Amino acid sequence: MAIAKVYGIETEYGIQVVGNADGNPTTASSVLINSYVSQLAGRVGWDFEDESPGRDARGYVREGSMPPEVETHLVNTVLTNGARYYVDHAHPEYSSPECATPLELVRQDKAGELVLARSMAAARRVLPPGEEIVVYKNNSDGKGNSYGCHENYLMDRTVPFARLARQVTVHLVTRQIYTGSGKVGCEASPSPTPAFEITQRADFFEEEIGLETTLKRPIVNTRDEPHADATKYRRLHVITGDANLAEVATFLKVGVTALVLLLIEDDVLSARELVLANPVQAMRAVSHDVALTRPLELVSGESITALELQWELYDAARKYAEERGLAELGPEPAGRQLLERWEAVLSGLESDPASLRHQLDWVAKLELIDAYCARHNCGLDDHRVAALDLQYHDVRPARSLFQRLDMERLVTPAEVEAAVTSPPRDTRAYFRGECLKRFGASIVAANWDSIVFDLGDDPLRRVPMMEPLRGSAAHVDTLLDGCSSPAELLRRLGA
Amino acid sequence: MAERELKKRTAPQKDAPEVEEEAPATSERGERLKAEIDDLLDEIDEVLEDNAEEFVRNYVQKGGQ
């Protein structure tokens, strides 16, 4: 049965040391994050107690698969907004706190960009003159190396995983038409005459389903690590998406995916199940189809475009919403706004994709590149085009090309600024963030589902948070305001 | 599929007023759009990394997730 959606998004940023040819990306990532957190008042490490990324949702581990390793020795911190900021696979990674609406997720994702921008400024102050650490919010270096932007969705555990995997695949493949960040040059089969493709990530998917995230990447990732009560919940870990700078793209990426998951939880999609005949091929075909006209083959024998498949999902979702509302996506107008924007963007893609140049990353980038090539009379193989492609994602305000494009905002700068230090109010991230703000000196570690306090004499005390929607401001504000010390908080919690 | 075809027909209607506008207004808007793009491209030319080839070549990442 459909349950309230809780979301998070993790972004691995590309990192470059300018002015030092020997710059090591892992060291640079540590310097970057340390520079940021050392200027903050307190600092709390991550608690690895409940990490088990090798657990497979299908109940087994396929022979030859490589469960990801947990790197416990690298910089790893929790911020007062409830986010995790750490070094992962030679990249700085920012994991947003848990959010209960798509718009809140957009706000927290943009706050992450601000944290990275401030980290770069902080790092400049400690690095030798002429050296600078620069980060990019993208997913590929254009040379065959990719790094991820993963989404997480809380789901009802009773939904059979096989059906979930089968039914979500068509959405993950076809949503690329609005989630793509655009890229020049295919990395799966490079060509001397590069073409523009819709997404950064599609080239890197080789399997339909699996546990891996760093090689032979699967469209449906089976990591089974709920970070919540495992008897009730599943956390669907989606690894196919591009990191977006456009707020509308992020909003649709997480919002529509959450809505499709509601349809799957309530088993609405089985009536007309849309199953792609070749999902991996389709993933790439959609990404390379800038005209949005290429038909995809379904196992039923039908041929249908990605855009038409999105319209099918939209029609099912609208009917579902009319019958029973979309309370699981947050208080209205959250669900209505999502449906309206989804429809408007699909209509725009259908009639005139260029009309979405202020809403979607790939359209904005394509328009910019086309205009640039027209002015300079050059082709897509020009180095300046590759530079433009990369610099679109530069997170430094003075260098970012994205920030010059007058893209539509869904959240105000003031709202984003607040999210740099304050947690979302409607999930357990609130309790985590507020405890860190108020009692940071007595907290030795925290993670998604617990906080560990050190009160001095006693053994360390762990406060579990197995319910992602408990610990919100409505639940704990009175409690927190009534506690003058962490000892009192623990006493009243009975921990 | 019926609903979808309906949408396909209705989608372009949103643009209908633009089509019906007088030609001078359209070309004025076209001019304004072109001026905006020109300004943007001027700005991009200024901010784009100087040595594009080296900049792109040096951007090599270790694979991640």
HEC string for B15-40? HHHHHHCCHHHHHHHHHHHHHHHHHH
Q: Is the pLDDT of residue A408 over 70?
A: yes
- Provide CB contacts within 8 A for A164, sequence distance 6+: A155, A236, A264
A66-80, A210-224, A404-418, B7-21 — which is least confidently predicted?
B7-21
Nearest by CB to residue A90, choosing from B40, B58, B62, is: B62
Q: Is the pLDDT of residue A134 over 80?
A: yes
Using an 8 Å CB-CB cutoff, list chain B residues near A174: none
Instruction: Say what the pLDDT of residue B11 is.
Output: 41
Q: Helix (H, G, I), strand (E, B), or coil: what is residue A464? A: strand
Instruction: Say what the pLDDT of residue A70 is.
Output: 52
Is B3 in Cβ contact with A68 (below 8 Å)? no
Domains with residue ranges and CATH for chain A:
7-417 (3.30.590), 425-494 (no CATH)
Does B43 touch chain A if contact means CB atoms closer than 8 Å? Answer: yes
Of residues A54 and A160, more confidently modeled:
A160
Using an 8 Å CB-CB cutoff, list chain A residues near B61: 14-15, 25, 90-91, 140-141, 143, 145, 147
Q: Helix (H, G, I), strand (E, B), or coil: what is residue A278? A: coil
Smallest CA-to-CA distance from A427 within A48, A8, A77 is with: A8
Instruction: Say what the pLDDT of residue A46 is.
Output: 78
* Annotated catalytic residue within A47, A56, A88, A242: A88
Number of inter-chain CB pairs under 8 A, A vs B: 105
- Provide CB contacts within 8 A for A153, sequence distance 6+: A5, A6, A7, A235, A236, A238, A254, A257, A258, A261
Instruction: Say what the pLDDT of residue A495 is.
Output: 64
Find the mean pLDDT for residues A150-163. Answer: 98
Determine what percent of chain A is predicted with pLDDT higher than 90: 89
Does B16 touch chain A if contact means CB atoms closer than 8 Å? Answer: no
Q: Report d(CA A263, CA A282) in Å as an integer.
A: 22
Using an 8 Å CB-CB cutoff, list chain B residues near A369: none
* Per-residue pLDDT tens over the stretch A81-105: 999 999 998 999 999 999 999 999 9
Is A388 in Cβ contact with B62 (below 8 Å)? no
Kindly report the average pLDDT of chain A as a whole number.
Answer: 94
Radius of gyration, alpha carbons of chain A: 22
Is A91 in Cβ contact with B62 (below 8 Å)? yes
Write down the residue that tokens 């600078």 correspond to: A132
Q: Are A427 and A6 a contacting pair, CB within 8 Å?
A: yes
Using an 8 Å CB-CB cutoff, list chain B residues near A350: 7-8, 11
Q: Is the pLDDT of residue A198 over 50?
A: yes
pTM for this entry: 0.92
What's the ipTM? 0.90
Using CA coordinates, name the residue in chain A closest to B49: A387
Smallest CA-to-CA distance from A397 within A36, A81, A116 is with: A116
Annotated catalytic residue A88:
yes
Instruction: Say what the pLDDT of residue A60 is.
Output: 63
Instruction: Say what the pLDDT of residue B9 is.
Output: 37
Q: Is the pLDDT of residue B1 over 70?
A: no
Does B49 touch chain A if contact means CB atoms closer than 8 Å? Answer: yes
Confidence band, pLDDT 50/70/90 cuts, at residue B31: confident
Is A145 in Cβ contact with B61 (below 8 Å)? yes
Helix (H) or strand (E) holding A149: strand A149-156
* Per-residue pLDDT tens over the stretch A428-477: 999 999 999 999 999 999 999 999 999 997 799 999 999 999 999 999 99
- Give the CA angle between residues A174, A179, A427 to the nearest 5°: 110
Q: Helix (H, G, I), strand (E, B), or coil: what is residue A99? A: strand
Considering Cα of A400, then A402, then A405, then A406, what sign does the dihedral take?
negative
Is B40 in Cβ contact with A351 (below 8 Å)? no
Is A315 in Cβ contact with B48 (below 8 Å)? no
CA distance A198 to chain B (A): 20
Instruction: Say what the pLDDT of residue A61 is.
Output: 53
Using CA coordinates, name the residue in chain A closest to B47: A399
* Per-residue pLDDT tens over the stretch A26-65: 999 999 999 999 888 666 777 877 778 888 888 765 445 5
Does B3 touch chain A if contact means CB atoms closer than 8 Å? Answer: yes
Using an 8 Å CB-CB cutoff, list chain A residues near B55: 387, 390
Q: Report d(CA A267, CA A167) in Å as an integer.
A: 10
Using CA coordinates, name the residue in chain B closest to A396: B47
Instruction: Say what the pLDDT of residue A41 is.
Output: 65
Instruction: Say what the pLDDT of residue A458 is.
Output: 76
Instruction: Say what the pLDDT of residue A31 is.
Output: 94
